Amino acid sequence: MPVNLTEYMDHYITIIEQEIAKQLEKLEIPKPLKDSMLYSMNAGGKRLRPILLIASYEAFAVDYHKVLSSGVALEMIHTYSLIHDDLPAMDNDDYRRGKLTNHKVFDEATAILAGDALLTYSFEVIVNDPLLVDKQKIEIIKLLSKTSGPNGMVAGQILDMQAENSEVTLQELEKIHELKTGELIKFAIYTGAYLGNATKDQLQYLEEFAYYLGLIFQVQDDILDVTGDEQKLGKRIGSDEKSMKSTYPRLLGIDGAIELKQRYVARAKNALKKAKVEDSYLMDLTEHFSKRDH
Ligand code: GRG
């Protein structure tokens, strides 16, 4: 069994990627669509969301097999959102993770369909999981559609587009991040704890934890856009740099952004203590989210 966080993450990245391959390889669909789905699913994502989901489950239970389908489904939705976000009609990016974006390798129509296919196939993956009972499948699909759809990530994306080239307040910025990034993190934490049979109180504290973890992720993302090695190497120039979009460093200065992040780290850890899971890998992952360098 893995001991430190790096070993833990590497161990589960391998397992998650094997399951992604298993779920995609069995699709009997036209080759360009399958190639396009596989291209983005295997383009070097960090797999943070499925790892969070497994860590949340393992704070309460053993045998990760029960959460694999939810983790893979979540990574599919995350990947669809990135494919669509990179399209000319949205951010119009040529590169992601140092590689050509999906629509640059394939064509725009295929990229749109690959995103659509990953979104919808994610629900099928959960429905087909023999380790879940119907009640669990309904609960997971209910939360996945809520957090990724018009009450979650998609709402965050449109608010983000509306905020393009305009000054927003810190409160408005945090609402955008809560929806655009935070909701999928909430799905990861909540689903793991739910399938691990956490109590109602614990679920509530973990929701608080997920909220702060989402914001930590985003503050660090904004900080990396200013200070990160990838930025220096020219690999990380995204829409935020090209536009005058508000970011934490722009609103608070770099020191203010770092200070705010530390406050959120303390609140996230406190929520884990209240949920009585401070000895889990969620604690280490909080530090990892706060200090990640890419
Ligand atoms: C198109 C409906 C729709 C939504 C797009 C997630 C998103 C919404 C857009 C992505 C743009 C972006 C840079 C968001 C900020 C944070 C974020 C989600 C970064 C990417 O997540 P990582 O770092 O990605 O976990 P990897 O590459 O590791 O998978």
Q: Is 261 in the pocket of ligand 1 (CB under 6 A)?
A: no
Average pLDDT, the chain: 94
CA of 95 to the centre of ligand 1 (A): 13
Q: Is 85 in the pocket of ligand 1 (CB under 6 A)?
A: yes
Structure tokens at 138: 């309904």
Average pLDDT over residues 223-229: 83
Residue 174 reports pLDDT greater than 80: yes
Nearest residue (CA) to ligand 1, atom 29? 45
List domains and CATH numbers for the chain. Answer: 5-291 (1.10.600.10)
Ligand 1 pocket mutation pick from 51, 85, 159 by most atoms within 8 angstroms of CB? 85
- Look up residue 65 and give its amino acid: H
Assess contact for 58 and 196: CB atoms under 8 A: yes
pLDDT value of position 165: 76
Q: Is 240 in the pocket of ligand 1 (CB under 6 A)?
A: no
CA of 287 to the centre of ligand 1 (A): 20
Residue 204 reports pLDDT greater than 70: yes
pLDDT value of position 230: 52
Nearest to 287 by CA among 74, 9, 44, 92: 9
Residue 96 Cα: closest atom of ligand 1: 27
How far apart, in whole angstroms, are the C-alpha atoms of residue 100 and residue 281? 33
Structure tokens at 277: 């899971």
Q: Is 82 in the pocket of ligand 1 (CB under 6 A)?
A: yes
- In degrees and rounded to multiples of 5, residue 100 shows phi and psi of -60, 145
Average pLDDT over residues 157-174: 92
pLDDT value of position 184: 98
Q: For residue range 112-129, list pLDDT tens digits in order.
A: 999 999 999 999 999 999
Higher pLDDT residue, 29 or 243? Answer: 29
CA of 27 to the centre of ligand 1 (A): 25
User: What SS3 state is found at 149?
Assistant: coil
Q: Is 238 in the pocket of ligand 1 (CB under 6 A)?
A: yes
Indicate the pLDDT class of residue 260, thresholds 50, 70 and 90: very high
Residue 16 reports pLDDT greater than 90: yes
Helix residue ranges, H only, the chain:
5-25, 31-41, 48-58, 65-85, 102-105, 108-127, 134-148, 153-162, 170-177, 183-195, 200-227, 229-232, 239-242, 248-274, 281-291
Nearest residue (CA) to ligand 1, atom 14? 181
Assess contact for 40 and 114: CB atoms under 8 A: yes
Indicate the pLDDT class of residue 234, thresholds 50, 70 and 90: very low
Q: Is 181 in the pocket of ligand 1 (CB under 6 A)?
A: yes
Q: Is 236 in the pocket of ligand 1 (CB under 6 A)?
A: no
Q: Is 245 in the pocket of ligand 1 (CB under 6 A)?
A: no
Residue 244 reports pLDDT greater than 80: no
How far apart, in whole angstroms, are the C-alpha atoms of residue 146 and residue 184? 10
8-43 burial string, b = 16+ CB within 10 Å, else e?
bbebbbebbbebbeebbeeeeeeeebbebbbbbbeb
Assess contact for 126 and 140: CB atoms under 8 A: yes
CA of 199 to the centre of ligand 1 (A): 31
Residue 243 reports pLDDT greater than 90: no
Assess contact for 183 and 140: CB atoms under 8 A: no
Residues whose CB is less than 8 angstroms from the CB of residue 131 and which lie 6 or more positions away in sequence, other chains included: 65, 66, 69
pLDDT value of position 294: 80
Sign of CA dihedral 70, 76, 78, 81: negative
Residue 212 reports pLDDT greater than 80: yes
Residue 239 reports pLDDT greater than 60: no
pLDDT value of position 7: 97
Q: For residue range 72-116, list pLDDT tens digits in order.
A: 999 999 999 999 999 999 999 999 999 999 999 999 999 999 999
Q: Is 180 in the pocket of ligand 1 (CB under 6 A)?
A: yes
pLDDT value of position 229: 58
Residue 8 reports pLDDT greater than 50: yes
pTM: 0.94
pLDDT value of position 213: 98
Indicate the pLDDT class of residue 182, thresholds 50, 70 and 90: very high
The rounded percent of the chain whose pLDDT value lies above 90 is: 89
CA of 248 to the centre of ligand 1 (A): 17
DSSP state of 62: S
Q: Is 280 in the pocket of ligand 1 (CB under 6 A)?
A: no
Higher pLDDT residue, 165 or 254? Answer: 254
Instruction: Give ipTM to 2 decimals.
Output: 0.93
- What's 82-132 look like in SS3? HHHHCCCCCCCCCEECCEECHHHHCCHHHHHHHHHHHHHHHHHHHHCCCCC
Q: Is 13 in the pocket of ligand 1 (CB under 6 A)?
A: no
How far apart, in whole angstroms, are the C-alpha atoms of residue 148 and residue 220? 22
Residue 1 reports pLDDT greater than 90: no
